[in-house]
Copies of this chain bind each other. A is one copy, B any other.
Amino acid sequence: MTALELSVNQFDLVSNMFSLAIAAMGAAFLFFILIRPRVAPSHRIAVTITTLVVAIAFYHYWRIWDSWQGAFEFTGGVYQSVGAGFNEGYRYVDWLLTVPLLLAELVLVLKLPKSTTRSLLWRLIIAAVAMIVLGWPGEISDPDSTARTVWGVLSTLPFLYILYVLFVELGKSLGRQEEGVSKIVDGLRYLLLATWGVYPLAYMAPSLISNEATAEVVRQVGYSIADILAKPLFGLLIVWIAIIKTRADNQGGANPELSSEPVAH
């Protein structure tokens, strides 16, 4: 990594974005724990998974914040990179765990037939892992190297496959969902497309923006915003679906243990 020089405002902007991400992940974690009893046990697995996702991201943003502070030294009115620099690896370790989990929570909350669920889960999880693992060698390559481009393109292939599965295959097998659920699923898919679309842009920032400091700031801010939308906000929509399904079950009398009416004897 070459030496970087950031202005105080640039350094602070990134620090504050990382801190925002820590606060957002922590708050989402608390919310998902507190809202849990409102979801029937049969719909809780998706809530459990989204709780894990924000907990894992909370941990990683804590490490990311620490690594950022240690990677620069304030000298002569600017922040200069020191030592081995900022460790981008935490993001990839985070995604390796959270991206498969995010896809799993989306599939599981829908309560599709068992065989459909299993087939979707396997393919989405393998594609997600491939996407992350193929991105990493490019991330640690030089900004303008062919390696960065090649790994970036390879990593995009499983990303496109995931989009195909979510928009084409999942659409076909959605079947009869409770009122309002299909609309939220649409929202979830577009949220995923919009936020995951930020990652390739942030990945390409070092190649697209010639000023190294600006490129680094854009990258880190972009990744952080995308993570906040793709994890806490995505999780909120998942919990919303689980609550709609709990209510629908209660009206049908299937979950008497959560019904507010006393059980008739």
Q: Which residues of A contact B (CB under 8 A)?
A: 1, 8-9, 11-13, 15-16, 19-20, 22-24, 26-27, 30-31, 34-38, 41-42, 48, 51-52, 55-56, 59-60, 63, 74, 79, 83-84, 87, 89-90, 92-94, 96-97, 140, 254-257, 260, 262-263, 265
In the complex, what residues of B have CB within 8 A of residue A38's CB? 41
Chain A's interface: helix, strand, loop or mixed, by majority?
helix
In contact, A79 and B87 (Cβ under 8 angstroms): no
Further 6 A-B residue pairs, CB within 8 A, beyond A16-B92, A74-B84: A16-B87, A19-B89, A22-B59, A23-B97, A34-B36, A74-B83
In contact, A51 and B30 (Cβ under 8 angstroms): yes
List 27 contacting pairs A-B, 8 Å CB cutoff, sorted by A.
A1-B8, A9-B140, A11-B84, A13-B89, A15-B89, A16-B87, A16-B93, A19-B60, A20-B97, A23-B59, A23-B93, A26-B55, A26-B56, A26-B59, A27-B97, A30-B51, A30-B52, A30-B55, A31-B52, A34-B48, A37-B41, A38-B41, A74-B83, A79-B84, A255-B260, A257-B260, A265-B265
| Distance A96 CA – B15 CA, assembled complex (angstroms) | 15
Closest to A79 in B: B84
In the complex, what residues of B have CB within 8 A of residue A265's CB? 265
Tell me which of B11, B20, B256, B262 contacts A93 (CB under 8 A).
B20
In contact, B12 and A84 (Cβ under 8 angstroms): yes
| Distance A263 CA – B261 CA, assembled complex (angstroms) | 11
| Distance A243 CA – B8 CA, assembled complex (angstroms) | 47
| Distance A16 CA – B23 CA, assembled complex (angstroms) | 23
| Distance A36 CA – B115 CA, assembled complex (angstroms) | 26
| Distance A34 CA – B83 CA, assembled complex (angstroms) | 41
In the complex, what residues of B have CB within 8 A of residue A20's CB? 93, 96-97
In contact, A12 and B89 (Cβ under 8 angstroms): yes
In the complex, what residues of B have CB within 8 A of residue A79's CB? 84
| Distance A192 CA – B264 CA, assembled complex (angstroms) | 46
Tell me which of B36, B89, B97 contacts A16 (CB under 8 A).
B89
In contact, A12 and B87 (Cβ under 8 angstroms): yes
| Distance A257 CA – B30 CA, assembled complex (angstroms) | 25
